[in-house]
């Protein structure tokens, strides 16, 4: 069922299969090691299983030569298909899709039944080898397609991974076509692999490239995840104060940042300590989460909003002047005041004070300070209001005291 080699080439091909099996086994161990440290990446565990099963499937070809007993060959090719199917499933999980374990089992069982039926109805050894190789080519192509179909991150790396899967698919497709043209009288003991040692060499090279690429992506994803956690407020899910310099740098890198219109809003929930006394700290948390959700709804895609600290929030509005920013701030204030918070079976009216300042010459830090000063003025004037920068600084100091 699997390919045999001529006596002259048997030792070399057997050695190549042993090397390929060893490489797959090392990939399985390395992938499992990375997964064991970051167990959220289930796709990496699936890849470890895929390479481990494939390593076992190639081992008989290294131990027996390229023409093992028929029973061993049959088990080997079914295991190899299991490895290919698990690789396809790992790419599905990599893209965030739901696992389909039962479908994988049924797929492999169907593959085994097709091969067994083909041999049972009189298909020649080359024909059975061709059917098996064609099926493996299809699954490898499906893996390449899966990598590209939903990819929005690591585009260049995804293209490289898809290319490696495509090479594996092309090798197996070529093997399928050439095997079908082999003499029909060839038996399992005399059928020669039409690609010789090309197949194990290509698989080994592709597996090395795939394993390195996938583990690099896994490490980058973990690094990105840690960065997001460090820059995200745990309670509200909004960016936190530490994310402001990062966003300010991105804003500065955009074209014409010095002349681009932008404004900063500094927002503070009024009398928050009283809310905590009335509803408890759990109610205070509910208020923060609720207000964060309101801001998400009202901000545009290009706007940036963060929890600045405690009950204070800030927003950077792009492509608006101060007049428009005041109008947006008023919309936030009135909408919040018109919708009381329902928490723990109680209703509580929440208001917010907002300071507004324009970003001049791309200086976001200055705008933050000016908006914060305007916020103090809003509080000094009785809260539940919007104040733009430039109000009486003495009044702001009085509010601060």
pLDDT band with cut points at 50, 70 and 90 for residue 38: confident
Ranges 165-169, 185-189, 370-374: which has the least confidence = 185-189
Rounded distance, CA 51 to CA 97, Å? 20
Q: Is the pLDDT of residue 162 over 90?
A: yes
Q: Is the pLDDT of residue 268 over 80?
A: yes
The 10s digit of each residue's pLDDT in 275-308 is 888 888 888 899 999 999 999 999 988 899 999 9
Q: Is the pLDDT of residue 65 over 80?
A: no
Give the pLDDT of residue 118: 87
Give the pLDDT of residue 222: 77
Give the pLDDT of residue 399: 45
To the nearest whole percent, how much of the chain has pLDDT over 70?
87
pLDDT band with cut points at 50, 70 and 90 for residue 139: very high
The answer to whether the beta carbons of residues 251 and 364 sit under 8 Å apart is: yes
Rounded distance, CA 191 to CA 126, Å? 7
pLDDT band with cut points at 50, 70 and 90 for residue 7: very low
Rounded distance, CA 246 to CA 231, Å? 9
Give the pLDDT of residue 60: 83
More confident call, 375 vs 252: 375
Burial class, 223, CB count within 10 angstroms (exposed 0-12 / middle 13-18 / buried 19+): exposed
pTM for the model: 0.64
Q: Is the pLDDT of residue 62 over 80?
A: no
* Tokens linked to 234: 């745990």
The answer to whether the beta carbons of residues 295 and 336 sit under 8 Å apart is: no
Q: Is the pLDDT of residue 6 over 60?
A: no
pLDDT band with cut points at 50, 70 and 90 for residue 192: low
Say which CATH architecture domain 7-230 belongs to.
Answer: Up-down Bundle (1.20)
Give the pLDDT of residue 68: 66
Give the pLDDT of residue 66: 58
Q: Is the pLDDT of residue 398 over 50?
A: no
* Tokens linked to 71: 């029973």
To the nearest whole percent, how much of the chain has pLDDT over 90?
42
* Tokens linked to 307: 């929890």
Per-chain mean pLDDT for the chain: 84
Ranges 23-32, 55-64, 156-165, 326-335: which has the least confidence = 55-64
Rounded distance, CA 213 to CA 202, Å? 16
The residue extents of the domains of the chain are: 7-230, 243-400
The 10s digit of each residue's pLDDT in 211-237 is 889 888 888 887 777 777 778 888 998
* Tokens linked to 127: 């024909």
The answer to whether the beta carbons of residues 70 and 188 sit under 8 Å apart is: yes
SS3 308: strand
If one looks up domain 243-400 in CATH, what number appears? 3.30.70.270
Phi-psi region of 269 (alpha: psi -120 to 50; beta: other; left: phi over 0): beta
Pairing of strands 304-309, 352-358: unpaired
Give the pLDDT of residue 18: 86
The answer to whether the beta carbons of residues 169 and 141 sit under 8 Å apart is: yes
CA 168 to chain centre: 24
Give the pLDDT of residue 276: 85
Q: Is the pLDDT of residue 391 over 70?
A: no
């Amino acid at each position: 069922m699997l390919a045999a080699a001529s006596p002259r080439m048997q030792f070399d091909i057997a050695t190549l299969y042993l090397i390929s099996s060893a490489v797959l086994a090392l990939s399985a161990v390395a992938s499992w090691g990375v997964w064991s440290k970051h167990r959220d990446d289930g796709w990496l565990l699936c890849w470890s299983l895929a390479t481990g099963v494939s390593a076992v499937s190639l081992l008989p070809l290294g131990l027996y030569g390229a023409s093992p007993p028929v029973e061993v060959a049959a088990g080997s090719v079914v295991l190899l298909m299991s490895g290919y199917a698990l690789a396809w499933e790992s790419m599905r999980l990599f893209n965030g899709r739901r696992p389909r374990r039962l479908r994988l089992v049924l797929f492999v069982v169907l593959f085994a039944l097709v091969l067994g039926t083909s041999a049972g109805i009189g298909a020649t050894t080359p024909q059975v080898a061709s059917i098996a190789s064609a099926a493996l080519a299809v699954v490898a192509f499906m893996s390449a397609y899966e990598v590209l179909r939903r990819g929005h991150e690591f585009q260049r790396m995804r293209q490289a991974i898809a290319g490696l899967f495509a090479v594996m698919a092309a090798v197996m497709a070529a093997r399928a076509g050439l095997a079908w043209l082999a003499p029909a009288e060839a038996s399992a003991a005399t059928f020669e692999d039409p690609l010789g040692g090309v197949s194990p060499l290509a698989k080994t090279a592709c597996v090395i490239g795939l394993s390195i690429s996938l583990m690099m992506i896994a490490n980058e994803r973990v690094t990105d995840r840690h960065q997001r956690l460090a820059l995200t407020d745990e309670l509200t899910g909004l960016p936190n104060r530490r994310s402001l310099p990062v966003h300010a740098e991105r804003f500065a890198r955009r074209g014409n940042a010095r002349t681009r219109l932008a404004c900063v809003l500094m927002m503070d929930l009024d009398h928050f300590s009283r809310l905590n006394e009335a509803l408890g700290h759990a109610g205070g948390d509910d208020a923060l989460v609720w207000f964060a959700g309101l801001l998400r709804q009202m901000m545009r895609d290009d706007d940036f909003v963060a929890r600045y600290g405690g009950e204070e929030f800030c927003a950077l509005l792009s492509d608006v002047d101060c007049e428009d920013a005041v109008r947006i701030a008023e919309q936030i204030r009135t909408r919040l005041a018109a919708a009381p918070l329902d928490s723990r079976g109680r209703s509580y009216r929440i208001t917010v004070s907002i300071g507004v300042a324009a970003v001049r010459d791309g200086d976001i830090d200055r705008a933050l300070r000016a908006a914060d000063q305007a916020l103090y003025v809003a509080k000094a004037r009785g809260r539940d209001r919007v104040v733009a920068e430039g109000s009486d600084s003495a009044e702001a100091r009085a509010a601060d005291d």
